[in-house]
Amino acid sequence: MTPTVPPPTAPGDGAPPGDPVLIAGAGPVGLCAALALARFGVPSLVLEAQRERDAAYFHESGSKAICFQRDVLDTFDRLGAAAPLLAEGTTWTTARTYYRGHELRTVTFPRRGGAFDAELPPWINISQARVERELLSAAEAEPLVTIRYDRRVVGLSQDADGVRADTDGAAGPASARGTHLVGADGSHSAVRKLLGAAFPGESFADRFLICDIRAELPFPNERRFHFDPEWNPGRQVLVHQCPDSTWRIDWQVPDGYDLEAERASGALEERIRKIVGERPYEIVWASVYRFHERCAERFRDGRVLLAGDAAHLYAPFGARGLNSGVQDAENLAWKLAVVRAGPSPAAAEALLESYHEERWAAAQENLRVTGDTMRFLVPKDEEHRRRRRDALELAVTDPGARSRIDSGKLAEPYWYTGSRLTTVPAAPEAVPAEAGAPRPPVPGVICPDGPCRVAGRPEAVRLRRLLGPGFTVLTARTGRARALAAALAGADLPVSAFALDDIDPTGTLAAALRCDGTTAHVVRPDAHLCAVVPADDADAVLAAVHRACGRPAAVPEGLR
């Protein structure tokens, strides 16, 4: 008889709180999913194929991802893991692109000003290993999260009530039962393979040598991308500063490149010296990658859902991989919480399917953006190489040609304007599609952030600190906020209502939301706006919350 992996226990009395959500993979995405579920009181059992994490594991895993975008840092803040990362991370706001020493493009990310820049900057650089360690620390302190190491998923089955995962490890076979299973077990996902889910895409011929080098270098704290520098002719180099005087240097190298042979011959030393000069340096981590662009055909099969690298792979230029995986986890967690609360089968089906629809659409956009970048960085034939060279040379003297230069459009949240969960506004407004363009505060877009005041707290706090773990309604007047809070008491998740008259004395938030006193803004638990409706229509507000929870738009009679 196959033993059962012990389930997590509820805090306090040690009694099982019911079947947990199973999560395959204790990497950053799996840990984010577990912590996000815990915010809603949902227990999870994380099944990790590798050994228990120790200092050696984090050292051996290297840096991997290093760039984390403001809205992902905001998610880490909601999960209780942001403060140490923000304290240690290297902040940057400027990205520059060069061709043979000529600066072609400069992108500067806006700052919010005052203390809020220090609290949540546009970008920080910090190693994925450090992020994973902080998430793991938060998960280990959370009673609703249980992690079982050396538990490789080797089989799964599902029925109308839940999912069974069969695992193997040094202690022998075992099984675990959960209401759902999240496959967050990386690019070689066992869960995806057990589902038989296709993972189509393409791989790029050139390889990329990535070294983290500790040295005192006089470079500015910026993202610097070099096309065809004299120290890597015909190819590219990307340079980023990280904490602890560490620099991420990424060289494009030809297919067949041999790191160990270059190390043994002294050519690696020569390669690094061309950048650091005669300064002392230490190689902290080095690896060679071939980048892939792949996406599972579906992110959901019944009660089994894929997230992070198990669902999609992107080339790293633009930092869309782990940033997108974190957004997968937060998107999925609140929906699982609603489904477990027991809505109708139709609502549960709609909500789970919306995870696939929203995050698959986000993946397609990321594939489009990163695919364009890789086709510019790694031309497939001599004709494409000639076109790229001509574009780069023209851009040196023609500013109008510089928009054709693609060194990686940096990550930003995806917006769900077309989602089945979004209430279409009475007067739809076009949302700019180009990367980096400011988005108007319309349903589907992530909610603006800014300083606000809360009774009993002398200091200003960020608006998004007030969000969740349920829905949030923002409206102008105190009386209307109280009335809406009362009307929303029967929703699937808790709903908080705030009056801008109370929390926004300067009018900053009202301006950012374009709230003229007649509207109510409904915000999902993952910080996306899902509706902007008349503030005096409680039925419309409740209908918007129900729509966001997968229910029909009509409000049930008993909840009016």
Q: Is the Cβ–Cβ distance between 475 and 499 less than 8 Å? A: yes
Integer Cα distance of 275 and 268 in angstroms: 11
Q: What is the DSSP letter of 557?
A: G
Integer Cα distance of 504 and 510 in angstroms: 7
Amino acid (one-letter) located at 89? G
Residue whose structure tokens are 């806006």: 110
Edge-to-edge strand order for the sheet containing 123-125?
Answer: 67-69, 123-125, 90-92
Every domain of the chain with CATH number 3.40.30.120 lies at: 451-559
Q: Is the Cβ–Cβ distance between 214 and 285 less than 8 Å? A: no
pLDDT, residue 247, reads 94
Q: What is the DSSP letter of 251?
A: E
254 prior amide bond cis, ω within 30: no
Amino acid (one-letter) located at 57? Y
CATH architecture under which domain 21-89+126-199+293-372 falls: 3-Layer(bba) Sandwich (3.50)
Label the pairing between strands 145-148 and 44-47: parallel
Every domain of the chain with CATH number 3.30.9.10 lies at: 91-113+206-289+401-412
**Six-digit token pair at 221?**
């704290």
Label the pairing between strands 304-306 and 181-183: parallel
Q: Count how many Cα atoms sit within 13 Å of the Cα of residue 512 in the half-sphere of its side chain.
A: 19
pLDDT, residue 11, reads 34
3-state secondary structure of 342: coil
455: left (phi over 0), alpha (psi -120 to 50) or beta: beta
Give the H/E segment covering residue 321. helix 321-340
Residue whose structure tokens are 């080098």: 213
Residue whose structure tokens are 């902290």: 284
Amino acid (one-letter) located at 550? G
Integer Cα distance of 46 and 29 in angstroms: 11
In angstroms, how far is CA 502 from the centroid of its own chain?
Answer: 32
Every domain of the chain with CATH number 3.50.50.60 lies at: 21-89+126-199+293-372
**Six-digit token pair at 545?**
């919350």
Kindly list the distances between the CA atom of residue 459 and the CA atoms of 114, 462, 501, 509, in Å, as whole numbers in the listed order: 13, 10, 17, 16
**Mind giving me the DSSP string for 23-65?**
EE--SHHHHHHHHHHHHTT--EEEE-SSPPP-HHHHHHT----
Kindly list the distances between the CA atom of residue 454 and the CA atoms of 87, 511, 514, 516, in Å, as whole numbers in the listed order: 25, 18, 21, 21
Mean pLDDT by 10 residues, the chain (560 residues): 51 51 98 97 97 75 82 95 94 92 88 61 92 96 97 97 96 96 97 97 88 93 92 91 93 92 96 95 92 95 98 92 97 96 91 97 94 89 90 94 89 93 88 76 94 82 90 95 89 89 92 92 97 94 94 47
Domain 451-559: which CATH class? alpha beta
pLDDT, residue 557, reads 39
**What are φ and ψ of residue 198, in 5° steps?**
-65, 150
Amino acid (one-letter) located at 44? S
Q: Is the Cβ–Cβ distance between 391 and 341 less than 8 Å? A: no
Q: Is the Cβ–Cβ distance between 191 and 310 less than 8 Å? A: yes
Q: Which three-class secondary structure string do you get for 283-312?
A: EEEEEEECCEEEECCCCEECCEEECHHHCE
**Six-digit token pair at 255?**
């297919």
Integer Cα distance of 197 and 297 in angstroms: 7
Rg (CA), the chain: 24
- Enumerate residues 6+ apart whose C-beta is below 8 A from 505: 453
Integer Cα distance of 300 and 485 in angstroms: 34
Integer Cα distance of 182 and 492 in angstroms: 22
pTM for the whole structure: 0.92
* Percentage helix, strand, coil for the chain under 3-state DSSP, each rounded to 5: 35, 25, 40
Integer Cα distance of 165 and 177 in angstroms: 6
**Six-digit token pair at 469?**
């773990």
Q: Is the Cβ–Cβ distance between 328 and 359 less than 8 Å? A: yes
**Six-digit token pair at 142?**
């959370």
Label the pairing between strands 21-24 and 44-47: parallel
Integer Cα distance of 484 and 473 in angstroms: 8
pLDDT, residue 556, reads 37
Residue whose structure tokens are 């603006």: 448
Label the pairing between strands 123-125 and 67-69: antiparallel
pLDDT, residue 7, reads 54
91-113+206-289+401-412 has CATH 3.40.640.10 classification:
no
**What are φ and ψ of residue 299, in 5° steps?**
-95, 0
List beta partners, residue 255. Answer: none
Residue whose structure tokens are 């230069």: 405
Integer Cα distance of 90 and 68 in angstroms: 10
